[in-house]
A = this chain, B = another copy of it.
């Protein structure tokens, strides 16, 4: 649905000469932040309303190395949401369209004390946005 572009930084490379694998997890977050912003339910707004959305799972497959100065496109989508868990999917490609990485992140919703929140009941507007985004896929 949405595409986020990350420019590979020098400090993201390692001695193998390409990007260290841990950084793709951070690019997923960068893309997720932008996706939720576009959906009108950005991190800052959610935190202001008292909603914390921790990452509960990460999956990542590395298909091809990426290098300093490349631009990596991250296609980011809400792949699953039924009210409790949110799953977001990521497909990363290099400048010529080669897939470099696919991944997903899973999230729950809690209040500031860590207690689970039922979005549908407490924040029906956010619940509706996520359901619609998941349905669009």
Interface residues of A (CB under 8 A from B): 9-11, 13-18, 20-23, 25-26, 29-30, 33, 42-44, 52, 54-62, 65, 68-69, 114
Contact = CB atoms under 8 A, between A and B. Distances in A.
The A interface, classified by DSSP as helix, strand, loop or mixed, is mixed
Contacts of A10: 14-15, 20, 29, 33, 43
Oligomer copy total: 4
Contacts of A30: 9
B57 A16 contact: no
Contacts of A16: 52, 54
Nearest to A23: B22
Nearest to A103: B58
The 3 closest A-B pairs by CB, nearest first: A13-B15, A21-B55, A22-B25
B60 A54 contact: no
A57 B57 contact: no
Contacts of A60: 57-59
A57 B29 CA distance: 18
